[in-house]
Amino acid sequence: MTSLHLPPQASLPEDWDVIVVGAGSAGVAAATAAARCGARTLLLDASPLPGGELISGISLLGCLSTRGEWIVGGVVTELLDRVKALGGYIGPVFDYRALHLVCFDTELMKIAVTGLLADAGVRTLMPAFVFGFAQDAQGASVRAVHKGAERWYRARVVIDCSGDGDVSVMAGAGYEQGGAGGVLQPPTLMYRVCGVESARLLDFVRQHPEHFGLGDYPGLGMDARACAEALHRQGLPKVLLRGTHGLLKDAIASGEMYPTSVLAIVPTSLARKEVSINSTQLAGVDGTRAESVSAALAPLMAQVKQGLDFLRRRLPGFEQAQLAAVAPRIGIRETRRILGDYVLSGEDILHARKRADGIAKGGHELDILGVKDHRHETIAQGGSYDIPLECLIPRGQTRLLMAGRCISSTREAQSSARVMGTCMATGQAAGTAAALCDASPGWDGDVRSVDRTALRRRLLADGAILEGTH
């Protein structure tokens, strides 16, 4: 057997202040924040483009609470300002169910993310798959394989933003995965369609609210019909069909549609009359196993075609719709939750619990999808909850932080904290903490010794929202 043997790339240093693994919403925020604090920051991702799920057609949840307050700022605001300058910002859209989504053009987001990282001075290395972790008294190292080399990179602190908690597991951290019996939320292959006539779609919603998910949050004080009227007035194609009633239920029963709990439509470009479709679903897929994810691709891709045919045939406004894009990868909702110094709980979320030492806020509902059902529950008074730094520190680790989907949480809490607004908030906190370690008076080589007062002060100065919300 022969293998590709190349000398290491001489131009890229091995030593960094901060290394971030994973360039999704959490990793982008972590790397940007670390670099802005003056840390020499390396960002590695297994994909060729940065963005993770930010560039798959999904809009940002968790930036606003159900009552409509902004609860996340800082890097996310800067990123959205960039999308705005590029002409791709649609802004907050209410679904008249329970959620405010910040909608944007997926293609222009790719330009915005790349520009944000470059201007912050983050050095990116991708595609680079990280498959090893080591630590000693001086720092932590990750081993990556990428075009041209297989190599160790070393830093004072490493941040695991891999979504699946890959680095933490390699470091020996404990974790939980899924619910009872290992059940996991289904993955989805997102797709986008253009040429959608919003006015026709919204007329149909107004005439037939019974087909749609509307008015879930009791605090709205509006029934489904009033919500349909308000959605119509809003004038944007943000619509949810449920697999348990109406049009979608009938199509599943007749075999016209595959089994799915939702078909969510979200605007992605007004200029292209484009929406994204979140609907394909498959049970029993384990996102931490390549063979499991690979086997899901063909059935999910077939569902894209089936879903498009259904939309064209059954949903007014979609008659002339065309497929615009399929997401670059299968979207994984749930895998590992790394056990940290504190485990965020369902009660923390549903009771909108506040903490004096919060370093990020979440505000998305409890949201556990299955192919046949959807457990969702709004936070008390449509408010927000605080996340402490302890949720970002894997138990037993000293040079490792984490942010994003894999943070320390119960299954209920993860179903809320997994959304991208919250991932960016925990990412910014982790990146700032990692960068501030060295300057902290009590820094002893353990991330726990970071100056907490300085951390919150810096986060607030950089636009993070940590106080003053419901």
Q: Which residues bind ligand FAD (CB under 6 A)?
A: 21-27, 44-47, 52-53, 58-62, 129-130, 161-164, 166, 188, 190, 278, 331-333, 404-405, 418-421, 423
Which CB sits closer to ligand FAD, 45 or 286?
45
- Separation between Cα atoms, residue 279 and residue 307, nearest integer Å: 8
| Cα-trace Rg, the chain | 22
What's the min distance (Å) between Cβ of 297 and ligand FAD? 14
Alpha-helical (H) ranges within 263-386 are: 290-314, 346-350
What's the min distance (Å) between Cβ of 276 and ligand FAD? 9
What's the min distance (Å) between Cβ of 51 and ligand FAD? 7
CA atoms within 13 A on the CB side of 413: 28
Which CB sits closer to ligand FAD, 130 or 464?
130
What's the min distance (Å) between Cβ of 70 and ligand FAD? 14
CB burial class (10 A; 0-12, 13-18, 19+) of residue 138?
exposed
- Separation between Cα atoms, residue 50 and residue 53, nearest integer Å: 9
- Of 53, 5, 40, 49, residue with least CA distance to 419: 53
What's the min distance (Å) between Cβ of 56 and ligand FAD? 7
Q: At residue 167, what is the residue type?
A: V
Which CB sits closer to ligand FAD, 242 or 333?
333
What's the min distance (Å) between Cβ of 42 and ligand FAD? 12
Which CB sits closer to ligand FAD, 45 or 365?
45
What's the min distance (Å) between Cβ of 169 and ligand FAD? 10
Residues in the chain: 470
Which CB sits closer to ligand FAD, 116 or 161?
161
Task: Give CA separation, 269 vs 83, 159, 369, in Å.
Answer: 12, 33, 26
- Separation between Cα atoms, residue 273 and residue 447, nearest integer Å: 47
SS3 303: helix
Which CB sits closer to ligand FAD, 331 or 431?
331
Which CB sits closer to ligand FAD, 47 or 440?
47
Question: Nearest residue to ligand FAD, using CB?
Answer: 24
